[in-house]
Amino acid sequence: MNRLCNMEPRVMDDEMLKLAVGEQGPRDEAGQLAKQEGVLFKDVLSLQLDFQNILRIDSLWQFENLRKLQLDNNVIEKIEGLENLTRLVWLDLSFNNIEAIEGLDTLVNLEDLSLFNNRISKIDSLDALAKLQVLSLGNNQIGNMMNIIYLRRFKDLRTLSLSGNPVAEAEDYRTCICAYLPDLVYLDFRRIDDQKKELAEMKHQYSVDELKHRESLMQARLEDERARREELAEHEAAFVEHLSGPSLWDSMYAEDVEGSQLSHLPGVRELLQTYKDKFVIICLNIFEYGLKQQKKRKAELDTFMGCVQEAVQEKQEQGKHKIAKFEEKHLLSLSSTRDESELTNFEIKMAEYSEDITELANVLMTLEMQLVEQLEETINMFERNIIDLVGLFVENVQSLMAQCRDLENHHHEKLLEIAISTLEKIVKGELDEDLPDAVRSLFVDKDTIVNAVGASHDIHLLKIDNREDELVTKVNSWCAHLVDKIHKDEIMRNRRRVKEINQYIDHVQSELDSLECSDLLD
């Protein structure tokens, strides 16, 4: 950019930021205080950094609460370093040398984005900006009309400027945008009048309708996907995912080469079918049982949480009440002690006051200790119950899995029988049917066929075992996690409360001390 080329590009550093903050910070009385104490970057709400010849955005990570940032008229080439400014509502990056939109994925609250007079040729990477209302992209190098369609996803977008782009030179530029972005109110700083909008809509009706249709299809697909995912998550929470259908059975045969080869033998197909049916029924049983148990566990957890919440709430109320009573008394006495002239009276009051403080501390601590005891008991009870519940679940699932294994064993025996008889037939040359070569190759001798059938059997058993193990470990770890978390939470709560009480008592005590001190000084 020739207007700035005679100046040396600068880097954003702390000094520069401090200067800017100081200049734009509070004035007058507060300004003096600000100078004395300095301003934290965290508290700054708006920052202006224009005409600074900045090349690279940097050192902004401290400005967590920034709402408005102006970085216009610099020589920035890349949008970066803005990840921490999640509260940002207004971002001005106009008159820079930016070539691509990027690095805005965390700025979910952004409403006003200006990228005027840059070198952008494509609108994208704005997906996260769901609240976008104003978008300024004038004087860029956007040449493709398809970019407009991308903007359809911003439901709140009302103002758009695109003038000065190659795309704006097209003949039906305005009507096209009006048709594709019907919610737009201002285009290139001009209000879109209704008549024109209607005309545009009529003109582009077909393509827009088609677009809408495609979008709705997409939407429906996404929703389906989401529903499926939710369902799966629910099943996973019950630790019985993929057990509602034949997928376990399918997975057993997926890697089983021999098994699928053996299915060509006469009579095996029927055998497989009945086996599959029975197997799937058992799987379904496990699945339903799992869901039921999940519901039970959830109800248990909910009641527990509710009860704990209630108990804590009650104690909290009691504590609040006690403090309120204390404060009432103390406020009155404090104001009267201030006026107290006689030293003996004053001392009596002070003594009384400090006594009250100790008592309050005791009472609050007692309440807390009571609560801790009560909760401990309750938590232990819950822990026992939930472990029992999980144990029962595991036991029952294991027994159902054992049924699966039995089925598999049974099937294995039958298969072996058929295989051996087939082998005998082949040996005798009595086999009528044609078998694929791969299958026929198994029937070389008895060992081979027995091994093949055995390998298939082993694979199946392994699959079943794996599934069972997976379930059991998952549920156990869930249980352990839960119990652990409850304990931890309770400890945290206790620490917090104790800290709070101590802090309060300290505060009151210090107030008393200061009163005494001031009085002594007088």
Partner 1 sequence: MEVLKEKVEEEEEAERAERGEKMMRPMEVRKEETIMTQEMLRDLERKLSEIEVSIPEKPSTFTKDAIDISKLPLSYQSNTPKEEHLLQVADNFSRQYSHLCPDRVPLFLHPVNECEVPKFVSTTIRPTLMPYPELYNWDTCAQFVSDFLSAVPLPDPLKPPSYLYSSTTVLKYQKGNCFDFSTLLCSMLIGARYDAYCVYGYGSQDLCHLDLTREVCPLTVKPKEMVKEEEKAPPKKYAVKPPRDLTSRFEQEQEIKRQEAIKAEEERRLKQEEEHLVEQESAKTDPLHGLRVHSWVLVLSGKREVPESFFIDPFTGRSYSTQDDHFLGIESLWNHKNYWVNMQDCWNCCKDLVFDLGDPVRWEYLLLGTDKPLLSLTEEEDDGMNDDDDVENLGKEDEDKSFDMPCSWVEQIEISPEAFETRCPNGKKVIQYKRAKLEKWAPYLNNNGLVCRLTTYEDLECTKTLEVKEWFQNREDMLELKHINKVTGLNIDYFKPGHPQALRVHSYTSMQPEMDRIMEFYETARVDGLIKREETPRTMTEYYQGRPDLLSYRHVNFGPRIKKLALNSAESNPRPVVKITERFFRNPAKPADEDVAERVFLILDERIQLRYHCREDRITASKREFLWRTEGDSKGNKIIMTPDMCLSFEVEPMEHTKKLLYQPEAMMKLKNEEKLSRHQAWESELEVLEILKLREEEEAAHALTISIYDTKRNEKSKEYREAMERVMHEEHLWQVEAQLDYLAPFLAQLPPGEKLTRWQAMRLKDECLSDFKQRLIDKANLIQARFEKETQELQKQQQWYQENQVTLTPEDEDLYLSYCSQAMFRIRILEQRLNRHKELAPLKYLAMEEKLYKDPRLVELLKVFV
The residues binding partner 1 (CB under 8 A) are 26, 29-30, 32-34, 36-37, 39-40, 42-43, 300, 303-304, 306-308, 310-312, 316, 319-320, 323, 364, 370-371, 373-375, 377-378, 381-382, 493, 496-497, 500-501, 503-504, 507
- The CA-to-CA distance between both ends of the chain, in Å, stands at 71
Minimum gap (Å) between residue 152 Cβ and partner 1? 32
Minimum gap (Å) between residue 25 Cβ and partner 1? 9
Minimum gap (Å) between residue 15 Cβ and partner 1? 21
Under DSSP, the state recorded for 68 is: E
With beta carbons less than 8 A apart as the criterion, state whether 322 and 400 touch. Answer: no
| Helical H segments across 204-267, by residue range | 205-237, 247-254, 257-262
Q: Which is nearer to partner 1, 23 or 194 (CB)?
A: 23
Residue closest to 294 by CA, chosen among 466, 467, 471, 464: 471
Minimum gap (Å) between residue 37 Cβ and partner 1? 6
How far apart CA 393 and CA 286 sit, in angstroms, is: 10
Structure tokens at 391: 């144990």
- C-alpha distances out from residue 300 to 234, 289, 294, 295, Å: 17, 16, 10, 9
Q: Which is nearer to partner 1, 381 or 427 (CB)?
A: 381
Minimum gap (Å) between residue 374 Cβ and partner 1? 4
Task: Give the DSSP letter string of 147-158.
Answer: HHHHGGG-TT--
Give the SS3 label for residue 204. Answer: coil
For the stretch 407-422, what's the b/e string if a residue is b when 16 or more beta carbons lie within 10 angstroms of its beta carbon?
Answer: bbeebbebbbebbeeb
* H or E segment to which residue 134 belongs: strand 134-136
How far apart CA 252 and CA 401 sit, in angstroms, is: 14
The position carrying tokens 């294995």 is 412
Minimum gap (Å) between residue 71 Cβ and partner 1? 25
Q: Which is nearer to partner 1, 257 or 517 (CB)?
A: 517
Minimum gap (Å) between residue 507 Cβ and partner 1? 5
With beta carbons less than 8 A apart as the criterion, state whether 3 and 47 touch. Answer: no
Q: Which is nearer to partner 1, 283 or 371 (CB)?
A: 371
Q: Which is nearer to partner 1, 188 or 383 (CB)?
A: 383
With beta carbons less than 8 A apart as the criterion, state whether 99 and 117 touch. Answer: no
Q: Which is nearer to partner 1, 35 or 212 (CB)?
A: 35
Burial of 13 (0-12, 13-18, 19+ CB in 10 A): exposed
Q: Which is nearer to partner 1, 14 or 80 (CB)?
A: 14
- C-alpha distances out from residue 149 to 118, 121, 138, 205, Å: 21, 15, 17, 14
How far apart CA 116 and CA 138 sit, in angstroms, is: 5
Q: Which is nearer to partner 1, 216 or 313 (CB)?
A: 313
Q: Which is nearer to partner 1, 110 or 371 (CB)?
A: 371
Minimum gap (Å) between residue 34 Cβ and partner 1? 5
Q: Which is nearer to partner 1, 237 or 363 (CB)?
A: 363
- Tell me the β-bridge partners of 114: 92, 136
